[in-house]
A and B are shown apart, each in its own frame.
Chain A
């Protein structure tokens, strides 16, 4: 029943037998390096895996001074992490390919986020806002039903099966009837085009009334509100005749939490010159209001951006000081057992610590504009990003892609303007970025380059986007040398901690 076919020697062999002895030397795989502090430099490979090593290690590796026996641990780390290979074409190249494809797969489905500027009207007069109007004139400053219909048509054309429709202002809730119309219409169309819809309303919550909540709840609409810090900052930032923006916001937050549920309401921080002096107080306010995340956004350079290098650099440095102070406070809370994450760092950390694609509009390459987001303005004009529409409000129409009802899908998304932007939206091909160690954690922002430096390509040595991201990313690695902080970072990525 059982036939003995062949006897084979199964004598055990020593480990040396299994090592590749043909190699007199190794081959480099694509990687980049950068000093992160006086003792440590970072090596980052083509898919974003990194090794922290003593300064001078990159030189050893690149000049092939590494000894397989003497530097065994490092040598094996480099093989295992795809920094070097013993064969010209590494045997696991297709694994690296798959990982590269995965990292860039946020591109696969194309535009998800469709922003509808549903009204430009607002009852706040925030000093930093260049856009909104205090007016009763709905005809001029609300998006017309025709433009809503046309916007939905374009939106349904997106190849992406998951679509987010976001209502912005001005103050979006001032045009609540139009929001209702748009949501119902989009839902109807979504059935036809088999789209999975998510709805978001961005609002300062001031015009929120109880009769709006049932509709918001029924259609699972997420509320994205604003909280700039404690009352003295928030009210200073957000002018309202009654000087009660903070009180109104907190009341609205609590109402939304009670009726819509904790997960359906979030708050965004707008950083202003005033905020920069109060990093701790702002973080404390977010904790006081029970938030488990805070997004420390830099001051928007739109509106008062200049081509003045010195002023831009000074602003960036001030913001970074603010960011780090606030960040330390956040880490402090986590160490004490209160879970709160910083959203911008979390985006970067996901790119650093995981293999998953991270499509975050303001920090990806190719850039998020068009690929990930499109903006339909109240007047029917179409822009490549929210920032592009801000520029337009200052009469710079560089990033206008078309007009609702007039331009075809192809003209908007694949037209001459889109192609021109595309020339500048991959950091892999930008001077200063192409050999930067942080390339795979960073992105490209042609709109910001244009607004601050006068051209989409940008000039990295004096670029605010570059200065800010280089330092934040370096700072995160610096912090990660502390293992307890690295563990906190992991909990930010997964959203749970032990």
Chain B
């Protein structure tokens, strides 16, 4: 799946955000995709994208000579940048849309799939999303918010959440955050005051003791801040999910972590156990992280059934059914974003293919040694 493409810019002085269309009559859209040469209808739009080469200025913002535009559907929202790069912000025909609020982060997790960048992109992204949010279809079922650490946008984080609530009141919002900012009660209070019932904050928690969590997220005091943050969020009625990535550092105390969660954070709405994704830092730290999912079946079973026995809502993400014991299958969700999701040849023989979450595309690099088709007959 392509989310980014490039062409040659003309007359673009500032990034332009809009929905794309190939139908000249669709003048309520902002950006026109043209496969042909110039036509007058172009002037009805804010900008034009074209695969054709255009050799002189037409006094309308244009990106031309773009190699491919097949990935863009009617109504997709893009940002076209002054350097000719076109990023897709929102795909109309996907259930896996997410808004990357920033690439900055105050943690530096060993297995980060999207390593942080130490530059201040918050103005850029705030401006991008405050323009894009009103363009998102009102019937959008769910949007993810991700980063980096989204709360680093500060007050602009609150503004965007408010804007999402106003523009898309029916859309489920799933925001990934390390939760540390909420240790400062004013931050939790402000989010609580927005009172958006469809906002779920998904906070990672990797151990029941501080130093293991701090090591995994590579930040001192992170554990205490995250726990305090979760408490503050709960105090202000915010919905919370806990996320646990399964790897060599989290497995040994996984059952104890489950107990810690039930005893100390029984108010969380959902707990997700997540298989490792081979993106970003993971490859670099693979020796510290890799454990074959088949080898942690026992620990995972104990943690999942403990929480589930007590009526907690538990899911397993990013797992292949052939690597899970059968009694955990019912917790497994097809969680991998469509554009990252693959299956192996072996999988095509499997009777459970339809129910299986499959594999990250990056799983090609490293995956369980026990991927094997399951036959019912």
Q: Flag the segment in B53-61, B113-121, B335-343 that touches A.
A: B113-121
Those of A16-37 within 8 Å (CB) of chain B: 17-20
Those of B250-280 within 8 Å (CB) of chain A: 253, 256, 260, 262-264, 266
Q: Is the CB of B82 within 8 A of A80?
A: no
Is A356 part of the binding interface, using a Cβ–Cβ cutoff of 8 Å?
A: yes
Task: Give the total number of A-B pairs whose CB atoms are below 8 A apart.
Answer: 95
Is B344 part of the binding interface, using a Cβ–Cβ cutoff of 8 Å?
A: no
Minimum CB distance partner of A494 in chain B: B311
Q: Is the CB of B228 within 8 A of A494?
A: no
Q: How far is the CB of A439 from chain B (nearest CB, A)?
A: 18
Residues of A within 8 A of B211 (CB): 15, 18-20
Q: Is the CB of A95 within 8 A of B231?
A: yes
Q: How far is the CB of A211 from chain B (nearest CB, A)?
A: 41
Q: Is the CB of B120 within 8 A of A5?
A: yes
Q: Which residue from A4, A10, A494 sits with its C-beta under 8 Å from B119?
A: A4
Q: Is the CB of B218 within 8 A of A13?
A: yes
Size range of the chain B interface in the assembly: 35 or more
Q: Is the CB of B228 within 8 A of A95?
A: yes
Is B285 part of the binding interface, using a Cβ–Cβ cutoff of 8 Å?
A: yes
Bound CA span A44–B370, Å: 42
Q: How far is the CB of A62 from chain B (nearest CB, A)?
A: 21
Q: Is the CB of A1 within 8 A of B15?
A: yes
Residues of A within 8 A of B369 (CB): none
Is A255 part of the binding interface, using a Cβ–Cβ cutoff of 8 Å?
A: no
Q: Is the CB of A354 within 8 A of B124?
A: no
Bound CA span A1–B83, Å: 11
Q: Is the CB of B218 within 8 A of A12?
A: yes
When each residue 121-136 of chain B gets 1 if its CB lies under 8 Å from chain A and 0 otherwise, what string results? 1011000000000000
Grouping DSSP codes into helix (H, G, I), strand (E, B) and loop, the A interface class, with mixed when no group exceeds half, is loop
Q: Which residue from B82, B116, B214, B310 sits with its C-beta under 8 Å from A18?
A: B214
Residues of A within 8 A of B110 (CB): 12
A99-B264, A354-B266 as given contacts; A1 in contact with B124, CB under 8 Å: yes
A3-B119, A355-B266 as given contacts; A95 in contact with B227, CB under 8 Å: yes
Is A70 part of the binding interface, using a Cβ–Cβ cutoff of 8 Å?
A: no
Residues of A within 8 A of B124 (CB): 1-2
Q: Is the CB of A12 within 8 A of B120?
A: no
Residues of B within 8 A of A17 (CB): 215
Residues of B within 8 A of A133 (CB): none
Is B220 part of the binding interface, using a Cβ–Cβ cutoff of 8 Å?
A: yes
Is A150 part of the binding interface, using a Cβ–Cβ cutoff of 8 Å?
A: no
Those of A72-116 within 8 Å (CB) of chain B: 76-77, 79-81, 91-92, 94-95, 98-99
Query: B residues within 8 Å of A by Cβ?
Result: 15, 81-82, 108, 110, 115-116, 118-121, 123-124, 208-212, 214-215, 218, 220, 224, 227-228, 231, 253, 256, 260, 262-264, 266, 285, 305-306, 308-311
10 interchain pairs, CB-CB under 8 A:
A12-B110, A12-B218, A18-B214, A18-B215, A80-B260, A94-B228, A95-B231, A487-B305, A490-B309, A494-B309
A-B interface, 10 closest residue pairs, ranked by CB to CB distance from nearest: A490-B309, A18-B214, A80-B208, A15-B215, A18-B211, A494-B311, A18-B215, A4-B119, A19-B211, A91-B224
